[in-house]
Amino acid sequence: MDPKYPALANTAVEDWDKTFNVNTRGAFLCSKEAANRLVHGGGGRIILISTSVVGGLFPGYGAYAASKAAVETMAKIMAKELKGSGITVNCVAPGPVATELFFAGKTEETVNRLVDSCPLGRFGQPGDVSKIVGFLAGDDGEWINGQVI
């Protein structure tokens, strides 16, 4: 994520490539490896991480949102490709989570505006995300497949 939040027209090609290499290529390589290593018919879970920014379409987040939209698309397609294998593929797309990465480059005014827009009146915590991932990874998440949560 570029903390300067450039418009797409001002995004350097190198920054675009770096964002896609980390977010999209990283998710692709991990998913590919998991799909080839998990025992088909034995069950298993592939869980990718996206962001609510994909649906928000915020100016300045173009490269980041596009890279995560690609991750969501990969999850949905891979879920269909693994049909009948017992392996599920889902994507978790949290809203703002209070991490160092999230706060990078944001003014106090921006942070206050963003927390004010959160339905619970607070930023998420890493533990909030891990609970969803844990659910999807466990036996209770067996029936959920090809979804973005």
Residue in 23, 64, 71, 145 annotated catalytic: 64
Q: What single letter denotes the amino acid at residue 97?
A: V
User: What's the domain range around 111?
Assistant: 8-141
Is 2 inside any structural domain?
Answer: no
Does any domain span residue 82? yes
Between CA 129 and CA 32 the distance in angstroms is 23
Range list of β-strands (E), 2-113:
44-49, 87-92
Q: How far apart are CA 148 and CA 142, in angstroms?
A: 15
**Domains contained in the chain, number:** 1
C-alpha–C-alpha distance, residues 18 and 37, integer Å: 27
Taking only the tens place, the pLDDT of each residue in 122-132 is 999 999 999 99
What is the band of 28 on the pLDDT scale with cuts at 50, 70, 90?
A: very high
Whether the predicted pLDDT of 76 surpasses 70: yes
CATH number of the domain to which 21 belongs: 3.40.50.720
The answer to whether position 67 is within a domain reads: yes
| Per-residue pLDDT tens over the stretch 34-57 | 999 998 888 899 999 999 999 989
Task: Give catalytic status of residue 64 as yes or no.
Answer: yes
State how far the Cα of 126 lies from the Cα of 95, in Å rounded to an integer.
11
